[in-house]
Amino acid sequence: MDMESVEDYGIKKIVVSIDTSEYSKMVMARASAIAIAFEAEIHVISVVSLPKLVASVADIGREDLRRSENEFQDHQKRLIDEYMRGYNLRVESRVLHGDPSAKILSYADEIGADLIVMGSKAYGKVQRFLLGGVSEEVVRNAKCSVMIAR
């Protein structure tokens, strides 16, 4: 394999999916290390999950929605400042609404992501069977590579 073909497999765009837990620090640390190594742009996203029976964002209390958005935005900003400060890389951040796995997958497709980095909740087999798993759904359906940070 020559050098040009190796560069074709570089990582140029990374989607980092985080929530507001302490665990998201480790996810951001892993993603930022990869972004810095590859000089990739990084897209930090969080998804305000809507209940399955809700038809649209309009059916949710606007105040609750705004509070969740602000909490995610503040957490994203803190992590971006902590892990990306001092590096001249493009960093985007967004808060999306809806089904987390569907939103992560569609956003990654929309921007042409090379990698999705996310965490995984440590569910047991029964819980995973009953609840499903966002990370499992993303791994199964992503068009790009997926890193599950543990």
| pLDDT over 70 percentage in the chain | 79
CATH assignment of the domain containing 128 = 3.40.50.620
Helices (H), the chain: 3-7, 23-38, 62-84, 100-111, 125-131, 134-141
Domain span including residue 144: 12-149
Q: Which pLDDT belongs to residue 7? A: 55
- The DSSP secondary-structure symbol of 86 reads T
Q: Which pLDDT belongs to residue 131? A: 44
Who has greater pLDDT, 60 or 44?
44
Instruction: Indicate whether 111 belongs to any domain.
Output: yes
The number of C-alpha atoms within 13 Å of 17 and in the hemisphere containing its C-beta is: 31
Name which of 55-64, 74-83, 102-111 the model is least confident about: 55-64
Residue 149 has pLDDT above 50, yes or no: yes
Instruction: Please state the pTM of the whole predicted model.
Output: 0.84
On whether the CB atoms of residues 108 and 15 are closer than 8 A, the answer is yes
